[in-house]
């Protein structure tokens, strides 16, 4: 897959633990010349940013976020970019916190309809 993430809005398909991203979080992705970055907000996240690189269908980035309780956290994520049968993009993520204990997997998918 070579489809650019630039301009895409993605959202988690399931909620994570409290204080983390969830189905109400929206990621606005940008991509240029192998560099990817995004801003995200929603749910327990007041503001988040990620920045990293893309090589073929693999993303490698760091993220940092401010939560509604006023705490901050940061971590590292590696994602596989997958094109779904309907043409939307899915990121299959493996992440680990660097500012606290914990790691896991998650899935975010391209949102094509406005939030209701």
Residue 44 lies in a domain: yes
Residue 55 lies in a domain: yes
Residue 84 resides in a domain: yes
Distance CA 74, CA 83 (A): 27
Flag whether 63 is in a domain. yes
Q: Is residue 115 part of a domain?
A: no
Q: How many domains does the chain have?
A: 1
Full-model pTM:
0.91
Q: What's the mean pLDDT in 102-111?
A: 94
CA atoms of 93 and 60, how far apart (whole Å): 10
The band of 86, judged by pLDDT with boundaries at 50, 70 and 90, is very high
Check pLDDT > 90 for residue 88. yes
Q: Output the domain CATH number for residue 72.
A: 2.40.128.30
Give tens-digit pLDDT for 41-56. 999 999 999 999 999 9
Q: What per-residue confidence (pLDDT) applies to 37?
A: 98
As a whole number of angstroms, the distance between CA 51 and CA 38 comes to: 7
State the residue range of the domain holding 85.
Answer: 9-110
Q: Flag whether 4 is in a domain.
A: no
If one counts every other C-beta atom within 10 angstroms of the C-beta of residue 51, the result is 13
């Amino acid at each position: 897959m070579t489809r650019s993430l630039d301009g895409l809005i993605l959202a988690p398909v399931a909620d994570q633990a409290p204080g983390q991203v969830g189905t109400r979080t929206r990621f606005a992705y940008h991509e240029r010349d192998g560099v990817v970055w995004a801003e995200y907000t929603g749910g327990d996240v007041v503001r988040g940013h990620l920045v990293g690189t893309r090589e073929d269908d693999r993303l490698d980035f760091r993220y940092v976020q401010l939560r509604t309780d006023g705490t901050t956290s940061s971590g590292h994520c590696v994602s596989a970019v997958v094109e779904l049968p309907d043409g939307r993009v899915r990121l299959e993520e493996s992440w680990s916190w660097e500012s606290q204990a914990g790691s896991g997997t998650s899935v975010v998918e391209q949102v094509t309809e406005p939030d209701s």
